[in-house]
Amino acid sequence: MTLHVKRDDLIHPTVQGNKWRKLHRTLARLQREGVPGVVSFGGAFSNSLHALAHAGPLFQLQTAAILRGVAADFRNPTLAEALRQGMRLFPVPKTEYDQKLESPVVQAIVAQFPGFAIVPEGGATAEGLEGCADIAQEIRAEFPDIPSERLFVAVPAGTGCTAAGVLAGLAGFGTVLVFPAAAYGVSPGSIAQMLAEAGYPPRQNLHFFTEFIRGKFAQPPADILAFARQFEQEKGIRLDPFYTSRMMYGLDQLEQSGFFPPDAVVVAVHTGGLQGWKGLGEDE
């Protein structure tokens, strides 16, 4: 097995990784259409809201966010940075947040921003999926001579939009390894639904690994964080603490268990999110 890391964490200086992939098509279209801004959703340490807060001004769009939970601390590094970028923040109870646009509380907030577009949590839209399909096409172009049975593309998952995009872009070629970062919000079924809603055929070349979630999303276990630090020391590549750390740890465990054929070529997609370290009290 040989391992390659696709460094999407380097794709943009402030809008890292799959967040740029998922946002740039949508925001460019909204700018062309003269839309004044966007409203989105996320948690208090959301990589997507952090990215949207930076991306909005690049496309001359105002930004606002509905936050999951009324205890959100505006002084935390993620939200403090979003505020500095001009994002308006509105914490709501989790019960209202889970209802999204069906909640009267959320509806009242959205009504304060007439003409604004709604960007779903994590940027999970058909345009976002198409942006993530580019990841797969770039990988195919980088490894044009590798047969399908040897190519494995690994992606972490929050909403599953990136995984769906990679499946769409590979168009049945290779195998996609999906490593969810939490025990909720994404499943093989939800990924299949995203593909269908974006007009792509179903794909079966997918393995879904939940055994590496290990604990609560925002509290990665010590051995996974230790693995991430060792990986950075040995490879010179910093992983984020919630998504890519779990993915790379999982790939290491799979290799040790003999999951991969000896001639496998594994491409792990680094989806950015390095600002997550600040939430653990460490520098980005």
Percent of the chain past pLDDT 90, that is, above it, reads 90
Calculate mean pLDDT across residues 51-78. Answer: 96
Spatial separation of the C-alpha atoms in residues 166 and 145, rounded to whole Å: 19
Tell me what pLDDT residue 283 has: 64
Confidence of residue 109 (pLDDT cuts 50, 70, 90): very high
Structure tokens that stand for 31 in this block: 């700018």
Alpha carbon distances (Å) from 242 to 62, 83, 173, 247, 250: 28, 23, 28, 9, 12
**Which tens digit of pLDDT belongs to each residue from 90-104?**
999 999 999 999 999
Q: Pinpoint the alpha helices (H) of the chain.
A: 17-32, 47-58, 77-84, 94-99, 104-110, 126-142, 161-170, 188-197, 222-235, 244-256, 276-279
Task: Give 218's pLDDT tier (boundaries 50, 70, 90).
Answer: confident
Asked whether the predicted pLDDT for residue 197 surpasses 80, the reply is yes
pLDDT tens digits, 244-275: 999 999 999 999 999 999 999 999 999 999 99
Token duo for residue 193:
């639904």
Average pLDDT, the chain: 95
CA distance 245 to 248: 5
Query: Does the pLDDT at position 284 exceed 80?
Result: no
Structure tokens at 108: 């009242």
Look up residue 166 and give its two tokens.
């990679």
CATH number listed for the domain at residues 2-11+125-279: 3.40.50.1100
Fold classification of 17-123 is Rossmann fold (3.40.50)
Q: Please report the pLDDT score of residue 216 as a whole number.
A: 86
| Residues constituting the chain | 284
Share of the chain above pLDDT 70, in %: 99
Looking at residue 176, what DSSP letter applies? E
List all residues 6 or more positions away from 78 whose beta carbon is below 8 Å from its beta carbon. 44, 45, 46, 49, 50, 275, 278, 279
Q: pLDDT at residue 173 above 60?
A: yes
Start-end ranges of CATH 3.40.50.1100 in the chain?
A: 2-11+125-279, 17-123
String of DSSP letters for 248-284: HHHHHHHHHTT-S-TT-EEEEE----TTHHHHTTS--
Q: Which two tokens stand for residue 72?
A: 């959100």
pTM for the model:
0.94
From 167, 254, 162, 230, select the one nearest 202 (Cα to Cα).
Answer: 167
The dihedral of CA 105, 107, 110, 114: what is its sign? negative
Q: Is 90 exceeded by the pLDDT of residue 78?
A: yes
